[in-house]
Amino acid sequence: MITGFETYLRTHASFSDAEIVKMVSTAKHRPLQRNELLLQQGQICRHKTFVLNGLLRIFGIGADGNESIMQFSSENSWCLDAESYHLLTPSQFGIAAIEKSEVLQWTKTDFEHLLNDIPALNSLSQQLISTNNYSSRHRLFTTLSATPEEKYEYFTRNNPHLLARLPLHMIAAYLGISIKTLTRIRHAQLHR
């Protein structure tokens, strides 16, 4: 179970065995039931979370009461509300498991010690922040400029591993289109 995290680390940077032991020993392993809430909107995000297996989503509720999905986090990815975590402010977003999942969690204090003590983790962390920013920017551009058809096409192209694991209403909530529109697009694709 922890092996996946070790493999992830070794794939992404050069960590010594001692560093990996340190990271693993300060993590808390947490199993999550399907639909279990990891972070409630309005609470402070007090942990860095790494998804060992399963699938989580970060979501917000709009003024109309509908959910919009900011991010899907599947195995071997990180999941947190960065703003709430860093500024200790109430989170605008919630985090919940879409599937039965397992995660590793670190408190902010523990993770900051790790970042100070392990240069490779610090670099990896900086690199992930940059990559996330770039993809957020691409996503914002697509959300602003693309047609619903293009949005769905980009999504299927970039997330083939997620398609069969997500209910339609979640894909729609991620793309910012209605289920009706999404159903129409998928129907048209099938008959093309």
Q: Where does this chain bind a copy of itself (CB under 8 A)? A: 60, 62-64, 66, 68-70, 82-83, 86-87, 92-93, 129-130, 132-134, 136-141, 143-147, 150, 176
Judge whether 148 and 175 are in contact, CB under 8 Å.
yes
Question: Edge-to-edge, what's the strand order for the sheet holding 101-107?
Answer: 28-32, 101-107, 47-53, 77-79
Residue closer to a copy of itself by CB (options 52, 172) is 172
Are residues 53 and 75 in contact, defined by beta-carbon separation less than 8 angstroms?
yes
Q: How is residue 75 written in tokens?
A: 């195995």
User: CB–CB of 44/60 below 8 Å?
Assistant: no
Provide the minimum distance between the beta carbon of 147 and a copy of itself in the complex, in angstroms, as a whole number: 7
53 vs 68, which CB is nearer to a copy of itself? 68
Closest contact distance (angstroms) between CB of 86 and a copy of itself is 6
**Any idea which residue has 């007090």 for tokens?**
46
**Closer to a copy of itself by Cβ: residue 140 or 188:** 140
> Which CB, 109 or 133, lies closer to a copy of itself?
133
Residue 151 Cβ vs a copy of itself, minimum distance, rounded to whole Å: 11
**Do residues 101 and 55 lie in contact, with contact meaning Cβ atoms separated by under 8 Å?**
yes
At residue 80's C-alpha, the angle toward residues 56 and 18, to 5°, is 100
Give the shortest CB-60-to-a copy of itself separation in angstroms.
Answer: 5
Residue number, 53 or 159, with CB nearest to a copy of itself: 159
Element (H, E) at 31: strand 28-32
Our measurement of the distance from residue 62's CA atom to the centroid of its chain's CA atoms, rounded to an integer in Å, reads: 19
Least distance from C-beta 34 to a copy of itself, angstroms? 24
